[in-house]
Amino acid sequence: MSAEVFHCLRIEQYDRKFLDDICELADAIRFLSKSKQGADQLASLLSHKRAMLYFVQPSTRTFLSFQSACQILGMKTADVRDTNTSSEVKGESEADTVRTFSSYYDVIIMRHHQADFARHIANVLNNSNRPVPVINGGSGKDQHPTQALLDVYTLIRSFKERGGVDGKKIAFVGDLFRGRTVRSLACLLTKFQGVRQYFVAPRELQIGDDILSYLDQHGVSYALTEDFRSILSEVDVIYMTRLQDEWDVKDGGNTKSINLQDYSLTKENMNFLQPHTIVMHPLPRRQEISTDLDNDPRAMYWRQMRNGMFIRAALLAMIFDVTDNIFRIKETLGENVSVE
């Protein structure tokens, strides 16, 4: 199995071909899931595999969509979400805890407050007698690779009829300094041609220099601004984010008082967007997108969320090497499946 599809740790490991392949596979899974025949066959593919969801940081969507993705492929799941219920309270190290999981489960999907913890665990397991794959479901403020995959899937689907993602303009808005989804997607978009990126935030929450130098190294064009209004009519995608003030406790900061009102989408400023511009958000949201925009055809965030389930199922299918089986099932059932 290639290194690219064993662990899923950081977005840098993926190339453009991988992105096109995983999105095509997610489409096939989406199609098959719509019928009982298709769903039954998908669910038989990995019925011999078990997944551990080790989520020691809060999560709704990532956790549930991974669980659903496992169910789509027939995998059984178990979870640890609170270290107070595990032997970590007895003083066991996190590395030993995760190594324990590897004795019982075939894949470990994890969310952790520490940047690069997933990579550390993958190294520990690589040197063990049972090196099961590790999937990073969010590591500190640093990376959220599967969110970036689902975001790219959403972009590919949204711009299929408009020349694809290449050459599009995307604005990231809000807490870009601590938003791991933005950091991951900004880097992943370097795999496309000529995507221009705008980082729209108050100075204290502006994107980190590490990301900007990554973009520089990849010859990506970008702009930084505090003026949300100025980019509204310019871009094809607006990627909104919330204030990540839960990090204040750990970092000793006080960002609660930062007012992101000027970085919010309202019915009024939606009028400045082009008709084809889409609005994305990794969710959860606070007030940065008014709920009365939810039914605007340009609001993509609920569909984006659902895309996450299919892309995560596709990732698991790639990791366990059942990609060909899925395309074969699709070919066999063809258009004859009755979609319910």
Q: Are β-strands 169-173 and 134-139 bridged in parallel, bridged antiparallel, or unpaired? A: unpaired
Residue 101 contacts residue 54 (beta carbons within 8 Å): yes
β-partners of residue 237 are 170, 278
Closer to ligand NCD at the Cβ: 94 or 175? 175
Is 144 an active-site residue?
yes
Two tokens at 306?
């659902």
Phi, psi of 143 (to 5 degrees): -135, 150
| Helical (H) or strand (E) element with 157 | helix 145-158
Give the E-state strand segments of the chain in sequence order.
50-55, 76-80, 107-112, 134-139, 169-173, 196-200, 222-225, 237-240, 278-280
The CB-of-129 to ligand NCD minimum distance in angstroms stands at: 32
Q: For residues 142, 153, 22 and 192, what is the CA-based torsion angle, rounded to 10 degrees? A: -80
The CB-of-247 to ligand NCD minimum distance in angstroms stands at: 11
Closer to ligand NCD at the Cβ: 195 or 280? 280
Q: Which of 23, 46, 49, 62 binds ligand NCD (CB under 6 A)?
A: 62
Q: Which of 282, 289, 314, 316 binds ligand NCD (CB under 6 A)?
A: 282
Of 50, 61, 196, 306, the active-site residue reads: 61
Two tokens at 170?
């995307």
Phi, psi of 328 (to 5 degrees): -65, -45
Q: Report if residue 145 touches ligand NCD, rule: CB under 6 A.
A: no
First-last CA distance in the chain: 36
Is 61 an active-site residue?
yes
Q: Report if residue 283 touches ligand NCD, rule: CB under 6 A.
A: yes
Is 267 an active-site residue?
no
Closer to ligand NCD at the Cβ: 278 or 337? 278
Q: Report if residue 147 touches ligand NCD, rule: CB under 6 A.
A: yes
Please give the size of the binding site for ligand NCD, defined by CB under 6 A: 10
Q: Report if residue 242 touches ligand NCD, rule: CB under 6 A.
A: yes
Residue 183's nearest CA partner among 164, 166, 199 is 199
Q: Report if residue 178 touches ligand NCD, rule: CB under 6 A.
A: no
- H-type alpha helices, the chain: 16-33, 36-45, 61-72, 94-104, 117-126, 145-158, 180-188, 209-217, 228-231, 248-251, 267-270, 301-319, 323-333
Of 90, 203, 256, 291, the active-site residue reads: 90
Of 30, 49, 62, 183, the active-site residue reads: 62
Of 10, 49, 144, 183, the active-site residue reads: 144
Closer to ligand NCD at the Cβ: 95 or 283? 283
Q: Rounded CA gap, 323 and 20, in Å? A: 13
Closer to ligand NCD at the Cβ: 214 or 247? 247
The 99-138 contact track toward ligand NCD, x by CB under 6 A, reads ---------------------------------------x
Q: Which of 67, 102, 154, 181 binds ligand NCD (CB under 6 A)?
A: 181
Footprint of ligand NCD (CB under 6 A): 61-62, 138, 144, 147, 180-181, 242, 282-283
Q: Which residues are the active-site residues?
A: 61-62, 90, 111, 144
